[in-house]
Amino acid sequence: MSADYHQGFNDRSIETSDGLALHVRIYGEHLPGQPVVCLPGLTRNSRDFHQLALILSQSANPSKVVTIDSRGRGLSDRDPDKSRYTLAVEALDVIAVLDALAIDRAAFIGTSRGGLILHLLAVSHPERLAAVVLNDIGPVIEVGGLKQIQAYLGRERQPKDFDEAALLLKQVHGPGFPALAAQDWRDMADAIYREIDGKIVADFDSAIAEQFRAADLEQPLPDLWASFEAFAGVPLMAIRGETSRLLSAETLAEMGGRHPALASMTATGQGHAPVLHLDGIAERILEFIAPLRG
């Protein structure tokens, strides 16, 4: 991993209501004000947000940033009960982290599955949401994008080192991410993979991928517009990857129609899900959360 990868944050372990240990990173731990809490995607972890968290916690008007490894991902415990890898359980885990860190309210950034968790929290715990950034996710999920993820999870190869991991990622995702440079692919490899027992492996419980691959995508998907309406009183930002197959431009436009104060942007040259520290996106997020800093 790159030399600065373990700098700029403190590690914490927080116990869930059912006894699992969740790994949490805290950037700018002693900064005052409402923090920013980052929730990663289906098989991703807190390392996805490292560069963004450094920017947010070291800016001229900095925020404390908390990034969470959901159960079964990253350095968090794998769940012996695989049936508990659900949005509802993971939403409760987020509340457990907030309570353990004495965070009453926060701005949240949710990438993909993390954004779906925020849809649930908007209904169940709206008082905890000071602001929300949805990264390439919304109330309508395109089946084509889900099938693309299914296919990718079904053909993963084990790289021999992190350079090969970066090359494999570029081979699979490169057409949808022309904006990424060589170092960006290496950073992505560092975020997705971890060396365990001398092997470079994808850093999540394989049961999560198995569940997703087994999902019947021919069945109708849940309608999340009612949950989206719960964001009505919350400052909301939505980011869409220009080539995303999961969040359509039409859905993004409809989100703006239903939440007139929505701040939206398209990440040029990126797909699902945009890398948030590139191409001025972090600066837009800083502007969006600035009112929370007073």
Q: What is the mean pLDDT of the chain?
A: 94
Is the pLDDT at 5 greater than 60, yes or no?
A: no
Give dist(CA 49, CA 37) in Å, integer.
10
Mean pLDDT for the stretch of residues 131-159: 89
Calculate ∠ Cα 25-158-41, nearest 5°.
Answer: 35
pLDDT tens string 85-137: 999 999 999 999 999 999 999 999 999 999 999 999 999 999 999 999 999 99
Least trusted range by pLDDT, from 32-41, 155-164, 188-197: 155-164
Q: What percent of the chain has pLDDT over 70?
A: 96
Tell me the pLDDT tens digit for each residue of 166-198: 999 999 999 999 999 999 999 999 999 999 999
For the stretch 62-71, pLDDT in tens is 999 999 999 9
Query: Does residue 81 carry a pLDDT above 90?
Result: yes
Cα–Cα dist 151/15, whole Å: 33
Whose structure tokens read 């006894």? 19
Q: What is the pLDDT of residue 266?
A: 97
Residue 171: Cβ within 10 Å count:
11
**What is the mean pLDDT of the segment spanning 271-283?**
96
Tell me the pLDDT band of 213, cut-offs 50, 70 and 90.
Answer: confident
Distance CA 139, CA 224 (A): 4
pLDDT at 2 over 50: no
Average pLDDT over residues 72-85: 97
- Count the helices and strands in the chain (H runs, E runs): 10, 10
Is 201 strand, coil or helix? strand
Q: Assign 223 a pLDDT band (cuts: 50, 70, 90).
A: confident
Give the model's pLDDT for residue 1: 31
The confidence score (pLDDT) of residue 3 equals 31
Q: Place 218 in a pLDDT band, splitting at 50, 70 and 90.
A: confident
CA distances from 193 to 44, 85, 161, 198 (A): 9, 20, 10, 12
Per-residue pLDDT, 175: 95
Residue, of 122 and 219, whose pLDDT is higher: 122
Predicted local distance difference test score (pLDDT) of residue 239: 98
Cα(21)–Cα(18) distance, rounded to whole angstroms?
Answer: 9
Q: What is the rounded distance in angstroms from the CA atom of residue 45 to the CA atom of residue 74?
A: 5
Mean pLDDT across 249-264 = 97
Least confident of 19-23, 106-110, 215-219: 215-219
The pLDDT score that the predictor gives to residue 151 is: 84
